[in-house]
């Protein structure tokens, strides 16, 4: 699509109207993993999966193929690059960094819906934690003005697994009345169909010693001292809670997608994702939504409270009971549910915010979490970007009050967070939104890998236990890298 020409004159011209073309295929002999590997040859760039619980798969899996554009969020502009060239759109002072993203989605419309399909096309990618500096001037940007703070693909071709009907849909959006667009779409669909009927290419791990060592960005006593500093600020009344984190860095010769394969087996989660950009790969299995918007209904699912899984059913039950009765964990959880209610209250209709699920135990491969659900009805004068702004970043990765906690995080932590604690997901052309929190996430740049995990600090936190919590949280992703290195 000739999007850049239209974006140069945002107030003139008609929006681009797109017609969905849908090809249905049987899906009983294919898996999302095998399909992605087959489709890499035709430009597959991301895979979004969901396990609604550790024992059940979500209805849809999305594979994005041959995106039309990449949009990078920089400090001063959004840089858009695609088949039709490159364009920088400066941020408007009152709408950074969404100026360009709003313009893109505003200039595109879909001629008809595809029933029950939550994502037909739109912006898929990540917004790093440092994007918070757009919303809160007291949090400084990274020193490098050209650092990429987030990246999104504009996608108009998707392969969608419907796990309920066991069908695969190839959905391609073509410009109404544009014969060249229709021809390109048909050619791509033919290539997708041919690739799916071809063999699977298993990526090879590069020669390298297995069991890579991951070096933290601070010593154990430094992390525990940071916890003590956080507690001092809590006792001083500056914050009620603060989430402190540490980074583990290392190298691996393992293929990125092989790491994803291992992670999805080890730690099935509501948000499993693999995003491949030129400069980095994001590999994640996040248990927690940042925010969702479905037909005007906003949804938050705060997670706060963690125990390791037991080695036996009896130990698992003991750990669950311990978590459910832990006053420190319960107080932290209630605080973050209240923060979520406040976030939605700023953008939802008065009186519509409710908590339909409260203090529910959820079980993952290595940990048990305490979760709740907060919902509200989005105001008529707000959209998906307004909702994102209200919720970002999640209180579960900052603390409360949110702004003061973020100031202290900036003061305490020795390195900027980057993608960690930001969000991954999509802004749909339909106006819907589904973004998770970028935790349990691997950031891979070539051979370089970084893992990051945090612990929620409250008044009665014990420093050595908070340190152990960060180790528990990265256990599954370290194990995934080890498995991928050894080959499977």
Q: Which two tokens stand for residue 108?
A: 């595109």
Catalytic residue among 150, 340, 376, 456: 456
15 touches 157 (CB < 8 A): no
Query: Within 10 Å of residue 228's Cβ, how many Cβ atoms?
Result: 11
Cβ neighbours, 10 Å, residue 381: 7
Q: Which of 36, 150, 440, 470 is catalytic?
A: 440
Concatenate the DSSP letters of all residues of 104-138 into one string.
HHHTEEESS--TT-S-SSEEEEEE-GGGHHHH-TT
How far is Cα 460 from Cα 473, in angstroms, rounded to an integer?
A: 20
Phi, psi of 427 (to 5 degrees): -105, 110
Which of 398, 364, 371 shows the shortest CA–CA distance to 299? Answer: 371
Residue 122 is among the residues annotated as catalytic for this protein: no
> Read out DSSP for 396-424?
GGTEESHHHHHHHHHHH-SS--TTTTSEE
Contacts of residue 460, defined as CB under 8 A and 6 or more positions apart, other chains included, come to 328
**Annotation marks residue 470 as catalytic:** no
Beta bridge partners of 374: 300
10 C-beta neighbours (distance < 10 Å), count:
15
The distance of Cα 362 from the centroid of its chain, to the nearest Å, equals 19
| Annotated catalytic residue within 396, 398, 441, 470 | 396
In angstroms, rounded to a whole number, what is the distance separating the alpha carbons of residues 185 and 174?
A: 7
**Which member of 91, 307, 369, 417 is catalytic?**
369
The question of whether 43 is a catalytic residue gets the answer: no
Using alpha carbons only, what angle is made at residue 239 by residues 235 and 242, rounded to the nearest 5 degrees? 105
- Please say whether the beta carbons of 249 and 217 come within 8 A: yes
* Length reported for the chain: 488
- DSSP calls for 44-83: EEEEEE--SBTTB--SEEEEEES-SEEEEE-SSEEEEEET
* Dist CA 275 CA 17 (whole Å): 27
Q: Answer for the pair 112, 30: CB distance below 8 angstroms, yes or no.
A: no
Cross-strand partners of 17: 109
Which residues lie closer than 8 Å to 322 by C-beta, 6 or more apart? 307
Per-residue CA distances from 350 to 235, 344, 376, 382 (Å): 34, 10, 9, 13
Separation of alpha carbons 249 and 256, rounded Å: 15
> Of 274, 420, 426, 467, which residue is the catalytic one?
420
Q: Has 69 been annotated as catalytic?
A: no
In this structure, what token pair is assigned to residue 425? 């997901």
Tokens of 169: 């849909």
- Residue in the block written with tokens 């699912």: 301
- Which residues are tagged catalytic? 369, 396, 420, 440, 456
């Amino acid at each position: 699509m000739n999007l850049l020409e239209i974006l140069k004159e945002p107030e003139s011209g008609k929006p681009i109207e797109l017609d969905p073309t849908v090809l249905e295929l049987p899906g009983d002999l294919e898996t999302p993993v095998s399909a992605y590997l087959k489709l890499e040859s035709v430009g597959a760039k991301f895979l979004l999966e969901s396990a609604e619980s550790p024992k059940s798969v979500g209805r849809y899996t999305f594979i994005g193929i041959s995106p039309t554009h990449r949009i990078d969020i920089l400090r001063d502009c959004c840089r858009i690059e695609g088949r039709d060239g490159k364009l920088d759109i400066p941020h408007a002072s009152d709408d950074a960094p969404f100026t360009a993203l709003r313009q893109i989605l505003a200039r595109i419309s879909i001629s008809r819906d595809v029933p029950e399909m939550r994502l037909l096309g739109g912006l898929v990618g990540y917004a790093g934690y440092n994007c918070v500096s757009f919303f809160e001037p007291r949090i400084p940007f990274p020193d490098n003005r050209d650092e990429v703070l987030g990246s999104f693909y504009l996608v108009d071709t998707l392969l969608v697994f419907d796990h309920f009907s066991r069908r695969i849909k190839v959905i391609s959006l073509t410009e109404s009345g544009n014969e060249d667009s229709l021809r390109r779409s048909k050619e791509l669909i033919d290539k997708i169909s041919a690739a799916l009927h071809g063999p699977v290419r298993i990526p090879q791990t590069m020669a390298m010693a297995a069991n890579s060592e991951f070096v933290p960005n601070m010593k154990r006593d430094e992390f525990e001292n940071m916890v003590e500093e956080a507690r001092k600020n809590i006792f001083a009344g500056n914050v009620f809670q603060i989430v402190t984190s540490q980074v583990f860095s290392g190298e691996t010769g393992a293929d990125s997608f092989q790491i994803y394969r291992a992670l999805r087996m080890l730690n099935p989660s509501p948000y499993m994702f693999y995003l491949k950009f030129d400069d980095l790969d994001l590999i994640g299995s996040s248990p927690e939504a940042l925010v969702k918007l479905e037909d005007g209904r906003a949804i938050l699912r705060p997670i706060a409270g963690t125990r390791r899984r037991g080695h036996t059913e009896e130990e698992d039950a003991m750990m669950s009971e311990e978590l459910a009765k832990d006053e420190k964990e319960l107080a932290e959880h209630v605080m973050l549910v209240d923060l979520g209610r406040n976030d939605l209250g700023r953008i939802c209709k008065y009186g519509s915010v409710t908590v339909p699920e409260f203090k529910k135990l959820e079980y993952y491969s290595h940990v048990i979490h305490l979760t709740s659900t907060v919902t509200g009805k989005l105001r008529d004068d707000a959209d998906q970007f307004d909702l994102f702004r209200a919720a970002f970043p999640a209180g579960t990765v900052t603390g409360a009050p949110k702004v003061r906690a973020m100031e202290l995080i900036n003061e305490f932590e020795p390195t900027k967070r980057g993608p960690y604690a930001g969000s991954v997901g999509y802004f749909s052309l339909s106006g819907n939104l589904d973004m998770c929190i970028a935790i349990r996430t691997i950031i891979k740049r070539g051979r370089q890998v970084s893992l990051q995990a945090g612990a929620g600090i409250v008044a009665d936190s014990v420093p050595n236990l908070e340190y152990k919590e960060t180790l528990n949280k990265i256990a599954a992703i370290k194990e995934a890298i080890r498995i991928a290195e050894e080959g499977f």
